[in-house]
Structure 1
Amino acid sequence: MARRVAVIGSGQTYHTGGRSDVNGQEMITEAVTRALTAAQLTIDDIDGIVIGNMDHFEGINYVDSWSVPGTGGTMKPVIKLTTGGTTGTTLAIAGYHMVASGLFSKLLVIGWEKNTESDTTAAITTAFDPIWDRLVFAGAIGGLAVEAQAYLARHNHKKEDAARVVVRDRKNGANNPFAHVQKETTIKQVMASPLIADPLHWLDMCPRTDGACAVIFADEYVAEKICDKPAWVLGTSVRHNASFTTDVSLDGLKSMESAAKELFSKTGITDPLKQLDVIEMYLPYSYAGLSWIESLGLCKPGEGPKLLWDGVTDMDGELPINPSGGPICGNPIGATALIRVAEATLQIQNRAEARQVKDAKVALATGFGGCFWTDLLLFGAQKP
């Protein structure tokens, strides 16, 4: 019988546009040390390690072996996983299943990225098939711009609607000491920023960030003994549907739509807007904050902007999204989705400090990447 699993601690670095003061291993150590401290454990208590990043970004092979001086993984099982932008949630979901299966009792999960040591757009472009995909995709920005154009054409919304997402997340990020960007902005400033790929302006996009995150998963026999507020895993769902970007539907994020239906069906969520208390969402750019909340089932297609303007997703709204500021305030890609997990579980544990949502009992974390893939994890204060 599968064991029930909880997150008992997490830690992350202070994310910035450049960590020239440390190498990648040293940066990883910062996150690991903070996670162990939060869980009141030492590295000797850890049974195994799962780690990942966008390994072709920094050009480091065998990250599982290379990272050992930073992870503390000497003489421990170390497993590397990477799935593009979804790496962080892939790590978390894999970690959950490894603990639930009984393979490990206390598992350290680590995501990291040193984007200053890579060319993100070039790396993403060359990851795609040179005949069928590369000229179409042309890096992350081009693909997202196409999705944004399709959304605007489908619903006749305005660029200002997307800018409202940036305003919300930047306001939240100003309360997050770990965020790369901690400065509020206005609709006017977003609209006045340089146009980089129509309809995307400079401030519509996430920054390139250096950072690491570590999360500790434990089985029920350990979690309840050593943690006063475990964040229990209620369910997970994964949809890596398409292998080529030319196979991706631009009529909403279909992978999120199907993943959400599965997850909510398994966990008894019939009205996510009412039953979820907080969402940490992987939004690499502003238009995702409109289209993807529709795909998640928070509202009907085309009604995303209304939720935004009505303040429903603000910190004091019915369902706060990205109290941490989300990827728009910092995107160390290999760590980004794991940061969503860390931040969601901090909400459940009531440890999110200035970014804490009142009475958060059920929290959703999402991951996005690859050919518009989606990973979801649902956490709760009550043991399932």
Structure 2
Amino acid sequence: MKRVVITGAGTVNALGHDVAATWDAMRNGRCGIGPLQFRDVDRLTIRIGGQVKDYDPAAHFSRQQLTLYDRFTQFALLAARQALTQSGLVFEGDFADRCGVVLGTSGGGLGTQEESYRAVYEEGKNRVHPFVVPKLMNNAAASHVSMEFNLRGPTFTVSTACASSNHAMGQAFQLVRSGLCPAVVTGGSESMLCFGGVKAWEGLRVMSKDACRPFSANRNGMVQGEGAGVFVFEDYDHARARGADVLAEVVGFAMSSDATDIVMPSCEGAARAMTGALRDAGLNPQDVDYINAHGTGTAANDRTECAAVADVFGDHAGKLMISSTKAMHGHLIGGTGAVELLACLMALREGIVAPTIGYEEPDPACPLDVVPNVARDARVDVALSNAFAFGGLNAVLALKRFS
């Protein structure tokens, strides 16, 4: 089995348009959630989100490219460019044939779908753009990343709701660890912040009108976000041979299905995923220093996740640091695990644990160290990144500090 390291990272999200800006915001506990800006927002009950601001697609892509790139694809391409620039990898010949792309998304080209529905049903048009299907399909981002960077190996998209990115990165990890691929570009992207996307989530009655407050007793729901996080997972021997800078090592992955309810989370399912990730990594519970929680800010998720952590870690649960960065960048649905992995990298590489901002009142059902409101300087050798999705699909990654 090969060792797997991360040699590149890139992102576009509500906190920043690159990793440095995102880490700076996480370090300082800044909130990227604010008033939404798009057509018909006044018809919504929920009018806040972690929207990517100060973003001009024309500054990055040609008019011809934009006929093919939905917003979620644009974010993925920009994040991939950053990650591959940092990694220094160039894909040519046999190496290109063996390297691939695995990305997660839940909604895919939802903005393109909405524009097309408006054209047909609201404006009465009888035609839509001929590239609507290739623009909205869930695999569009992965395909365009593979084409732009000449990645000709295994390339596909994972769609498992809020666990999509973690499942995608887990598959990438396994592709590299098994020796099938020397490197895989992986992560996730999502852009559901449009009228239809928010209206659909309103129907679930799990959304907050004012703020995301994970683990706080007065929390009142989740807040959506958008953006992408993309990484280069690489065989350690290959990375070492070329003198690459290693951000962290991926050491374990596990997934589970609750097999109980389509929307209500299960403590047992979440616990099995965390336990499985530790087992896969050859780690003991007491080895873990930090968990980036799924932490949506809903009563059901937060209490279930805390109970699962208590079950898995026992007495060590009280010594763990656990935080949710969704209070800063929002819940990116299929892209959320990828952006949250950046918090794990910051903890492992920089020794800074991102805070759970918006925390106001302790909840007896969440009696853990949630790193409230202010980032913390701490040595972190091992971190877990949790993702627990609608449909009862759970995916947990384990990472180690590289030295």
TM-score range, shorter chain: 0.5 to 0.7
CA contact (8 A) 1:9 1:215 kept: yes
Count residues in correspondence. 300
Root-mean-square deviation over aligned CA pairs? 3.7
Once the two structures are overlaid, the 10-residue window that deviates more, 369-378 or 325-334, is: 325-334
Asked if 1:338 is matched to 2:338, the reply is yes
Which of 98, 103, 109 aligns to 1:51? It is 103
Give me the whole-angstrom Cα distance separating, in 1, the residues matched to 2:277 and 2:175.
19
TM superposition shift of 1:219: 0.8
Q: How does 1:188-337 map to 2 (within 5 A)?
A: 191=218, 201=220, 204-205=221-222, 207-225=223-241, 226-242=243-259, 244-245=261-262, 253-270=267-284, 272=285, 274-287=286-299, 288-297=301-310, 318-322=319-323, 325-326=325-326, 329-337=329-337
Summarize the Cα distance change of 1:140–1:243 in structure 2 as closer, same or farther, 3 Å threshold. Answer: farther
Summarize the Cα distance change of 1:321–1:97 in structure 2 as closer, same or farther, 3 Å threshold. Answer: same
User: Residue 148 of structure 1 aligns with which residue?
Assistant: none
Q: How does 1:121-160 map to 2 (within 5 A)?
A: 139=204, 141=206
Q: SS at 1:141's partner residue?
A: coil
TM superposition shift of 1:82: 1.1
Q: Which runs of 5+ in 2 are unaligned?
A: 15-49, 58-70, 114-134, 355-374
Give me the whole-angstrom Cα distance separating, in 2, the residues matched to 1:382 and 1:227.
12
User: Residue 64 of structure 1 aligns with which residue?
Assistant: 139
Asked if 1:85 is matched to 2:175, the reply is no
Once the two structures are overlaid, the 10-residue window that deviates more, 88-97 or 348-357, is: 348-357
Give me the whole-angstrom Cα distance separating, in 2, the residues matched to 1:51 and 1:255.
23
- The percent identity for this pair of structures is 17
Give me the whole-angstrom Cα distance separating, in 2, the residues matched to 1:299 and 1:99.
28
TM superposition shift of 1:101: 1.8
User: Residue 363 of structure 1 aligns with which residue?
Assistant: 383
Letter in 1 for 2:308: S
Letter in 1 for 2:342: A
CA contact (8 A) 1:36 1:43 kept: no
TM superposition shift of 1:373: 2.4
Give me the whole-angstrom Cα distance separating, in 2, the residues matched to 1:35 and 1:254.
35
Letter in 2 for 1:83: T
Asked if 1:372 is matched to 2:392, the reply is yes
Give me the whole-angstrom Cα distance separating, in 1, the residues matched to 2:141 and 2:312.
45
User: Residue 152 of structure 2 aligns with which residue?
Assistant: 76
Asked if 1:17 is matched to 2:51, the reply is yes
Summarize the Cα distance change of 1:79–1:140 in structure 2 as closer, same or farther, 3 Å threshold. Answer: farther
Asked if 1:165 is matched to 2:215, the reply is yes
Post-superposition Cα deviations, 1:94-117, rounded to whole Å, max 9, x if no partner, equal: 000111122211110131111223
Letter in 2 for 1:90: H
Letter in 2 for 1:49: V
Give me the whole-angstrom Cα distance separating, in 2, the residues matched to 1:353 and 1:278.
8
Summarize the Cα distance change of 1:290–1:21 in structure 2 as closer, same or farther, 3 Å threshold. Answer: same
Summarize the Cα distance change of 1:55–1:222 in structure 2 as closer, same or farther, 3 Å threshold. Answer: same
Summarize the Cα distance change of 1:344–1:117 in structure 2 as closer, same or farther, 3 Å threshold. Answer: same
User: Residue 5 of structure 2 aligns with which residue?
Assistant: 6
TM superposition shift of 1:89: 0.4
Summarize the Cα distance change of 1:282–1:119 in structure 2 as closer, same or farther, 3 Å threshold. Answer: farther
Q: SS at 1:119's partner residue?
A: helix
TM superposition shift of 1:88: 0.7
TM superposition shift of 1:223: 2.8
Give me the whole-angstrom Cα distance separating, in 2, the residues matched to 1:379 and 1:269.
10
Give me the whole-angstrom Cα distance separating, in 2, the residues matched to 1:165 and 1:276.
20
Give me the whole-angstrom Cα distance separating, in 2, the residues matched to 1:285 and 1:90.
22
Q: How does 1:105-124 map to 2 (within 5 A)?
A: 105-117=182-194, 119-120=196-197
CA contact (8 A) 2:106 2:190 kept: yes
Q: Which runs of 5+ in 1 are unaligned?
A: 126-137, 145-161, 167-186, 192-199, 313-317
Summarize the Cα distance change of 1:327–1:99 in structure 2 as closer, same or farther, 3 Å threshold. Answer: farther
Post-superposition Cα deviations, 1:109-138, rounded to whole Å, max 9, x if no partner, equal: 13111122363466579xxxxxxxxxxxx6
Give me the whole-angstrom Cα distance separating, in 1, the residues matched to 2:12 and 2:88.
18
CA contact (8 A) 1:49 1:73 kept: no
Q: SS at 2:391's partner residue?
A: coil
Letter in 2 for 1:62: M
Normalised TM-score (structure 1): 0.66
TM superposition shift of 1:27: 2.0
User: Residue 130 of structure 1 aligns with which residue?
Assistant: none
Once the two structures are overlaid, the 10-residue window that deviates more, 214-223 or 325-334, is: 325-334
Give me the whole-angstrom Cα distance separating, in 2, the residues matched to 1:233 and 1:328.
25
CA contact (8 A) 2:254 2:280 kept: no
Q: SS at 2:336's partner residue?
A: helix
Which of 75, 89, 96 aligns to 1:41? It is 89
Summarize the Cα distance change of 1:362–1:18 in structure 2 as closer, same or farther, 3 Å threshold. Answer: closer
